[in-house]
Structure formats: structure tokens, C-alpha cells
């Protein structure tokens, strides 16, 4: 056993459990790949101000949870706590918005970091798949992303999730609501930190999960009552498009999300089987973020879905993904000559696209066959000196136990035929 352990609040992904994470990532990415989204990958750390400006200094993410540090050269950096700001920064730096038709559609997958109080479903290191559509203000784009996320979850077999939907207004109507909300909140019995938040970004108070705060928010003014005509029309179009696609959602007038950059459409995917950590993903429109980080006006929308929590949602519904075995064929050599010949056979099978493994190390037939059983392979290729002298190997069906001699020079085709 190692002297060292994974840092508190983190985890290692190891086989066979890691295969489930890969399957979830692939399922979420699949509808994006067929909808015009290209893959982007950004560094695991960025200039700390990218998140302070974009995500918002009043958010818990920036003020309490971000891993910030100074390099030996004096640069102030932060481990990325979310993906949108990084992806937008990368798109701006590469001038993607100048190279073709808008929107620029990107998807990404990676690890993110927040200094959380560790608990099941809430880690300091977590995995997300995200999508961003940059440079277009269109209700159909908001609807597309919500529909694609719904499609991804349903392709995994998930059914017991809900989509919450709201509009946060824009720079025209939100200031009026902000003033009304501040007036209401100032009359409540709140701690000093929360009172400071009222002055910086009062919508953050609505996102406070503490029961003592939520009880006092009964009767708070709702943003939907302050939306301007343009925001109302935009939101109704998003709702109509989602409905026409057969996607069921719930209107949630108090849905804010934990980031400052959202405008207009905001949404969240929640799963009631996960307890307090019920949000499995979410996103929204962020029309002013590009300007916040020094870019041109680029209205945009996106989401991020948590791989960790999606896996927990699958467990909550008792769903077992159909994950192919990592190995289809396992080679068992009996003797030095068989070892040389079968190693070459393994190489040929792999070239032919067959997932094949080899029994390494000097051990007897019993030890080799234990390795074959543990591999989960569908077939085992067994060969000794007598088999090779006759120009054959033994092809064993690991499910039925049946064994058949197969000519060595026709083995690759025989295996491919059986697996097909």
C-alpha cells in the first residue's frame, strides 16, 4: 500500500468502474457531435481574473471555493472551477467568431476544481461535459441545447429527472427587479455575509440553500413579474420550441443558478433520487460574458452536465449500462514456442480491430486460465507444442466451455466471424 492517498474530496477512476464514466461522457457527447459542435480543450488553470470577472466575485465559487495560487514568476492563476469562461476565452483568443458563420458551437470534457465540503455527489475534483454556442441570440439555440441534454440523458436510460426553466431578464429589465429585490431582502434577518451579498448581487441570495434563509424568502418579488416585453417574448419562444420537441419541463420562478453571467434563459436538470445534491447539470444564456472578459459583444448560451452525478443518477434508478468487455479474446500460450507464435497472433488480431489480451508471465495452464476468466473475454486462444506442430490452436468459448481446433492461418478470420 502506498504511503500517499488521493487528496481529500477527490477520487481515482479505476477499472472496471471507470468504464461507466467513459460511457456517460460518450453518451452526453454523442448528440453534440451530430449537431455541429466541435471539440475544444482548455488548460486546467487560467488567469484568476478570468473567473473573478466572468463567474462573479460575489459568487461562492470565486469567493470561497476557487483554488487560487501565485506562480514562481508572480502570475496569479486558479484551477478552473467551471468551463464556460475558459471556452469563451479560448474562442476569443483564436478569433473563432471571425472565421465563419455564427454561432461557434463547441463541446468539451474535463476535470474541474472547487474547495467544497466533501460529501457524496459533491467533490473537490469533479468531471463535466459541456457545450457552448457562441455569438448568436436566438431562442432556437437555447432550445436546441436543452433538447440535446435531454436526449443525452434519455439515451442513458434515465427517466426520473426534471428540467427546471426560468428567465433572468436582461440589462433592460433586471435593474428594476434588482432594486425591488434589494428592498425586500434588506428587511430580513440575515447574517453579515448575506447582507453584503444583497448589495453586490441580490439574486445570489435567492440561490442560498440554507433553510433559515429560504423560509424568509417566501413572498419575495419574482423576476418573471418584472420581465420586459422582449424578454417575455424570448422566453415564450424557448418554451414553445422545447414543448414542440416533446421535452417536458417545469417553470421555476426562483431558479437563479450559481454564476453571475447568466441572462434570460436559465435551466437546471435535477434528479430527485440524489438527495440534497439533486442538480445533475444546468446552464443558460450569458449574453454579456464576452464583454466582461474583454471581448466583443457575443451573445451566447451553454450548459455543463456533471458526469459524477449522472453516474449517481443511474445508480439511483438501478440502471446498468451495457458496457462491452474490454477484452474479447485472451491468448494463453503453453511453452516458449507458443508464447512467440501467440504473441504474433495477438498483434494481428489487434490490427484487425479485435480487443485482445495476452497472458503474461511464466505460469501453468491453471494460472493462465485464471487470467483468461478474469479478463471477461468471450474467447480464449490456447496453444501448446502439439497444437503448433499440427498448425492449429484451440479456440475456447468462455461462456459455454466448448473448445474447437482452428487452423492457425485462418484464426483471425475465424475469430472475427464468431464475434460478429
Residue list for the binding site: 82-84, 114, 128, 132, 257, 261-262
Distance separating alpha carbons of residues 373 and 359, to the nearest angstrom: 11
What Cα–Cα distance (Å) separates residue 11 from each residue in 120, 132, 372? 11, 27, 29
* Residues forming a β-bridge with 129: 109, 305
> How many of the other CB atoms lie within 10 Å of CB of 206?
18
Binding residues for L-histidine: 82-84, 114, 128, 132, 257, 261-262
What Cα–Cα distance (Å) separates residue 59 from each residue in 94, 299, 311, 318? 28, 22, 27, 35
Q: Can you list the alpha helix ranges (DSSP code H) found in 255-383?
A: 289-292, 307-316, 336-351, 365-375
67 close to 268: Cβ distance less than 8 angstroms? no
What Cα–Cα distance (Å) separates residue 222 from each residue in 251, 261, 395? 12, 19, 69
**E strand or H helix at 332, and its extent?**
strand 329-333
318 CB-near residues (< 8 Å, 6+ apart): none
- All three cell numbers of 21: 464514466
Amino acid at each position: 500500500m502506498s504511503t500517499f492517498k488521493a487528496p481529500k474530496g477527490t477520487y481515482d477512476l479505476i477499472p472496471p468502474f471507470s468504464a461507466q464514466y467513459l460511457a456517460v461522457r460518450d453518451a452526453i457527447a454523442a448528440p453534440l457531435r451530430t449537431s455541429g459542435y466541435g471539440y475544444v480543450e482548455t488548460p486546467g488553470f487560467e488567469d484568476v481574473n478570468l473567473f473573478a470577472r466572468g463567474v462573479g466575485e460575489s459568487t461562492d465559487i470565486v469567493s470561497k471555493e476557487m483554488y487560487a495560487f501565485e506562480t514562481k514568476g508572480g502570475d496569479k492563476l486558479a484551477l478552473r472551477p467551471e468551463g464556460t469562461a475558459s471556452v469563451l476565452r479560448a474562442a476569443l483568443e483564436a478569433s473563432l467568431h471571425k472565421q465563419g458563420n455564427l454561432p461557434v458551437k463547441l463541446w468539451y470534457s474535463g476535470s474541474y476544481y472547487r474547495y467544497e465540503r466533501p460529501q457524496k455527489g459533491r467533490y473537490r475534483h469533479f468531471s463535466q461535459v459541456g457545450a457552448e454556442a457562441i455569438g448568436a441570440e436566438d431562442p432556437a439555440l437555447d432550445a436546441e441545447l436543452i433538447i440535446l441534454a435531454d436526449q443525452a440523458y434519455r439515451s442513458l436510460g434515465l427517466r426520473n429527472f426534471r428540467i427546471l426553466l426560468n428567465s433572468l431578464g436582461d440589462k433592460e429589465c433586471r435593474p428594476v427587479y434588482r432594486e425591488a429585490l434589494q428592498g425586500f431582502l434588506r428587511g430580513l434577518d440575515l447574517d453579515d455575509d448575506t447582507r453584503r451579498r444583497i448589495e453586490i448581487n441580490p439574486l445570489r441570495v435567492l440561490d442560498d440553500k440554507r433553510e433559515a434563509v429560504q423560509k424568509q424568502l417566501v413572498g419575495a418579488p419574482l423576476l418573471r413579474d418584472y420581465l420586459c416585453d422582449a424578454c417575455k417574448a424570448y422566453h415564450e419562444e424557448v418554451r414553445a420550441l422545447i414543448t414542440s420537441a416533446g421535452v417536458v419541463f417545469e417553470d421555476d420562478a426562483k431558479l437563479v443558478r450559481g454564476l453571475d453571467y447568466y441572462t434570460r434563459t436559465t435551466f437546471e436538470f435535477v434528479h430527485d433520487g440524489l438527495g440534497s445534491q439533486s442538480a445533475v447539470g444546468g446552464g443558460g444564456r450569458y449574453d454579456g460574458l464576452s464583454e466582461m472578459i474583454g471581448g466583443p459583444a457575443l451573445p451566447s448560451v451553454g450548459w455543463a452536465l456533471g458526469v459524477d452525478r449522472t453516474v449517481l443518477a443511474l445508480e439511483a434508478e438501478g440502471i446498468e449500462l451495457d458496457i462491452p468487455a474490454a477484452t474479447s479474446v485472451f491468448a494463453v500460450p503453453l511453452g516458449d514456442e507458443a508464447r512467440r507464435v501467440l504473441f504474433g497472433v495477438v498483434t494481428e488480431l489487434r490490427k484487425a480491430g479485435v480487443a485482445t489480451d495476452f497472458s503474461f508471465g511464466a505460469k501453468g495452464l491453471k494460472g493462465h486460465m485464471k487470467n483468461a476468466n478474469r479478463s471477461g473475454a468471450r474467447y480464449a486462444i490456447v496453444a501448446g507444442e502439439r497444437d503448433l506442430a499440427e498448425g492449429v490452436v484451440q479456440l475456447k468459448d468462455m461462456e459455454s466451455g466448448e473448445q474447437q481446433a482452428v487452423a492457425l492461418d485462418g484464426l483471425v478470420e475465424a475469430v472475427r466471424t464468431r464475434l460478429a
